[in-house]
Amino acid sequence: MFLRLAEQHRKFVQDLVMNLQALAIVLERRGYLASCYTCGGQMNSASFMVSLTDNHLIRFLVSDYGITWTEMRDDRELMKLEGAEAINQLQELANLVKYDIQPSEATLAAAHRV
């Protein structure tokens, strides 16, 4: 049972890393400064970052050790979430792409959320 769960977790992390890479590409095409770096070719970890404005940065880390969402403004940490809550915040960011909200509108939405 535990081996099966470990394999499911590895596949989940790989799927999440691939989706982060795709999200970074789409966000860049929409005018955001975004990047997604992975370590090695096994897709078992990634560091995703996007700048919503000059001083508003989102960092999402995923690895076998956990998942973390960190939101910073003016070099100060505003919010740090882990696990499912971090993924929920990532979904909100993905919705910006899905509904084609421009960077200026995204800034307003983020300001209301914080």
pLDDT tens digits for 38-92?
987 888 999 999 998 889 999 999 998 899 999 999 999 999 999 999 999 999 9
Range of the domain at 26: 2-113
Domain count, the chain: 1
pTM: 0.82
CB atoms within 10 A of CB 31: 11
Name the helix (H) or strand (E) containing 19: helix 2-29
SS3 20: helix
Q: How far is residue 6 CA from its own chain's centroid?
A: 23
